[in-house]
Amino acid sequence: MLREVQYMNEVLRTIMQRYSCRDFKDTPLTDEQIKALTEAALAAPSGMNRQPWHINMVTDKALIDELDTEGMRMLAEAEDKSGYERMMARGGKLLYGAPCLMLITTDGEAGMDAGILSENVALAAHSLGLGSCIVGMAGMPLTGPRGEEFKQRLQFTPGHVFGIGILIGAANSGKEPHEPDHSKVTYIK
Residue ranges of the domains in the chain?
19-173
Which H or E run contains 162?
Answer: strand 161-169
CB of 94 closer than 8 Å to CB of 140? yes
Give 118-156 pLDDT, tens digit per residue: 999 999 999 999 999 999 999 999 999 999 999 999 999
| Distance spanning both ends of the chain, measured CA to CA | 31
Give 21-79 pLDDT, tens digit per residue: 999 999 999 999 999 999 999 999 999 998 999 999 999 999 999 999 999 999 999 99
Lowest-confidence range among 4-8, 100-104, 162-166, 179-183?
A: 4-8
> Residue type at 97?
G
Within 102-172, residue ranges assigned H as helices are: 111-127, 147-153
Query: b vs e for 71-108, b when ≥16 Cβ sit within 10 Å of the residue's Cβ?
Result: bbbbbeeeeeeebbeebeeeeebbbbbbbbbbbbbbee
Q: Into which CATH architecture does domain 19-173 fall?
A: 3-Layer(aba) Sandwich (3.40)
The number of CA neighbours under 13 Å toward the Cβ of 88 is: 8
Which H or E run contains 87?
Answer: helix 82-89
Angstrom distance (rounded) from CA 5 to CA 21: 23
CB of 132 closer than 8 Å to CB of 166? yes
Angstrom distance (rounded) from CA 174 to CA 172: 7
